[in-house]
Amino acid sequence: MAEAEQAAHETEPWATDSHNLGGWASNQAVLDHLVFLTQGERLTSVVHNPDERGVGRLATLEVLLVQSASSLWMGGDEKDYNVCVRFEVRRASSGPREITPETIDCPPGVPAAPTPR
Protein backbone atom coordinates (compact mmCIF):
# COMPACT_ATOMS: atom_id res chain seq x y z
CA MET A 1 0.00 0.00 0.00
CA ALA A 2 2.98 2.30 0.54
CA GLU A 3 3.60 2.36 -3.23
CA ALA A 4 0.00 3.41 -3.88
CA GLU A 5 0.20 6.20 -1.29
CA GLN A 6 3.50 7.39 -2.75
CA ALA A 7 2.07 7.39 -6.29
CA ALA A 8 -0.93 9.44 -5.12
CA HIS A 9 1.34 11.86 -3.27
CA GLU A 10 3.58 12.36 -6.34
CA THR A 11 0.67 12.65 -8.78
CA GLU A 12 -1.19 15.43 -6.96
CA PRO A 13 1.40 18.17 -7.68
CA TRP A 14 2.13 16.71 -11.14
CA ALA A 15 -1.55 17.04 -12.05
CA THR A 16 -1.56 20.78 -11.35
CA ASP A 17 1.96 21.65 -12.47
CA SER A 18 1.75 25.10 -14.02
CA HIS A 19 4.84 24.28 -16.10
CA ASN A 20 2.82 21.91 -18.29
CA LEU A 21 2.16 23.52 -21.64
CA GLY A 22 -1.52 22.69 -21.38
CA GLY A 23 -1.94 23.72 -17.74
CA TRP A 24 -3.61 21.15 -15.51
CA ALA A 25 -3.44 17.53 -16.68
CA SER A 26 -6.72 15.96 -17.74
CA ASN A 27 -8.44 13.56 -15.37
CA GLN A 28 -7.71 10.70 -17.78
CA ALA A 29 -4.01 11.68 -17.81
CA VAL A 30 -4.03 11.57 -13.99
CA LEU A 31 -5.34 7.99 -14.08
CA ASP A 32 -2.77 7.02 -16.70
CA HIS A 33 0.00 8.58 -14.60
CA LEU A 34 -1.08 6.57 -11.53
CA VAL A 35 -0.94 3.34 -13.54
CA PHE A 36 2.53 4.29 -14.78
CA LEU A 37 3.87 5.15 -11.31
CA THR A 38 2.49 2.05 -9.61
CA GLN A 39 3.46 -0.22 -12.51
CA GLY A 40 0.14 -1.91 -11.82
CA GLU A 41 -2.35 -3.58 -14.10
CA ARG A 42 -5.41 -1.42 -14.78
CA LEU A 43 -8.56 -3.28 -13.75
CA THR A 44 -11.11 -0.47 -14.25
CA SER A 45 -11.04 3.26 -14.74
CA VAL A 46 -13.83 5.79 -15.05
CA VAL A 47 -13.67 9.53 -15.65
CA HIS A 48 -16.80 10.81 -13.92
CA ASN A 49 -16.18 14.42 -14.91
CA PRO A 50 -13.88 15.33 -17.82
CA ASP A 51 -13.41 18.88 -16.46
CA GLU A 52 -10.04 18.80 -14.65
CA ARG A 53 -11.14 21.84 -12.65
CA GLY A 54 -14.48 20.25 -11.81
CA VAL A 55 -15.72 19.68 -8.26
CA GLY A 56 -16.56 16.45 -6.47
CA ARG A 57 -15.59 12.97 -7.62
CA LEU A 58 -13.69 13.37 -10.89
CA ALA A 59 -12.29 9.91 -11.61
CA THR A 60 -11.85 6.41 -10.19
CA LEU A 61 -9.14 3.88 -10.96
CA GLU A 62 -8.70 0.30 -9.77
CA VAL A 63 -5.32 -1.37 -10.25
CA LEU A 64 -3.76 -4.72 -9.42
CA LEU A 65 -0.39 -4.38 -7.70
CA VAL A 66 2.15 -7.07 -6.89
CA GLN A 67 3.52 -6.72 -3.36
CA SER A 68 6.39 -8.60 -1.73
CA ALA A 69 6.61 -9.78 1.85
CA SER A 70 9.46 -11.44 3.67
CA SER A 71 8.91 -13.55 6.74
CA LEU A 72 11.87 -14.11 9.02
CA TRP A 73 10.25 -17.11 10.67
CA MET A 74 10.15 -18.83 7.27
CA GLY A 75 13.86 -18.56 6.68
CA GLY A 76 13.61 -15.16 5.03
CA ASP A 77 11.67 -16.40 2.00
CA GLU A 78 10.13 -13.60 0.01
CA LYS A 79 6.62 -14.14 -1.26
CA ASP A 80 4.72 -12.10 -3.82
CA TYR A 81 1.00 -11.47 -3.50
CA ASN A 82 -1.61 -9.46 -5.39
CA VAL A 83 -3.25 -6.38 -3.90
CA CYS A 84 -6.06 -4.40 -5.50
CA VAL A 85 -6.18 -0.66 -4.91
CA ARG A 86 -8.82 1.94 -5.76
CA PHE A 87 -7.75 5.53 -6.35
CA GLU A 88 -10.41 8.23 -5.99
CA VAL A 89 -9.66 11.57 -7.63
CA ARG A 90 -11.67 14.40 -6.06
CA ARG A 91 -11.59 18.14 -5.90
CA ALA A 92 -13.21 20.49 -3.39
CA SER A 93 -14.68 23.80 -4.53
CA SER A 94 -11.22 25.34 -4.42
CA GLY A 95 -7.76 23.89 -4.45
CA PRO A 96 -6.01 21.08 -6.31
CA ARG A 97 -7.27 17.57 -6.92
CA GLU A 98 -6.86 15.10 -4.08
CA ILE A 99 -6.07 11.46 -4.77
CA THR A 100 -6.97 8.89 -2.15
CA PRO A 101 -5.87 5.24 -2.43
CA GLU A 102 -7.55 2.42 -0.52
CA THR A 103 -7.18 -1.33 -0.68
CA ILE A 104 -10.21 -3.20 -1.98
CA ASP A 105 -11.20 -6.81 -2.46
CA CYS A 106 -9.86 -8.05 -5.78
CA PRO A 107 -12.49 -9.06 -8.30
CA PRO A 108 -13.25 -12.74 -8.82
CA GLY A 109 -10.67 -14.40 -11.02
CA VAL A 110 -7.69 -12.45 -9.64
CA PRO A 111 -5.46 -14.98 -7.86
CA ALA A 112 -4.00 -14.26 -4.41
CA ALA A 113 -0.49 -14.54 -5.86
CA PRO A 114 0.82 -13.44 -9.26
CA THR A 115 1.28 -16.05 -11.93
CA PRO A 116 4.94 -17.00 -12.40
CA ARG A 117 6.56 -15.70 -15.56
Select from 113, 62, 112 the least CA-distant residue to 84: 62
Question: For the packed helices 2-15 and 27-38, what is the interaxial angle rounded to 10 degrees?
Answer: 140
Question: Does residue 116 belong to any structural domain of this protein?
Answer: no
Given pLDDT bands bounded at 50, 70 and 90, which one contains residue 63? very high
Write out the residue range of the structural domain in which residue 45 sits.
2-104
Q: Three-state DSSP class for 101?
A: strand
Q: What is the largest CA-CA distance in the chain?
A: 53
Given pLDDT bands bounded at 50, 70 and 90, which one contains residue 18? low
Q: Are 34 and 8 in contact (CB under 8 A)?
A: yes
Count of CB atoms situated within 10 Å of the CB of 11: 23
Q: For the chain, how many structural domains are there in total? A: 1
Question: Does residue 117 belong to any structural domain of this protein?
Answer: no
- Count the helices and strands in the chain (H runs, E runs): 2, 4
Mean pLDDT of 58-78: 77
Question: Does residue 25 belong to any structural domain of this protein?
Answer: yes
Question: Does residue 92 belong to any structural domain of this protein?
Answer: yes
Q: Are 86 and 102 in contact (CB under 8 A)?
A: yes
Question: Does residue 64 belong to any structural domain of this protein?
Answer: yes
pTM of the prediction?
A: 0.84
The answer to whether residue 33 scores a pLDDT higher than 90 is yes
Given pLDDT bands bounded at 50, 70 and 90, which one contains residue 74? low
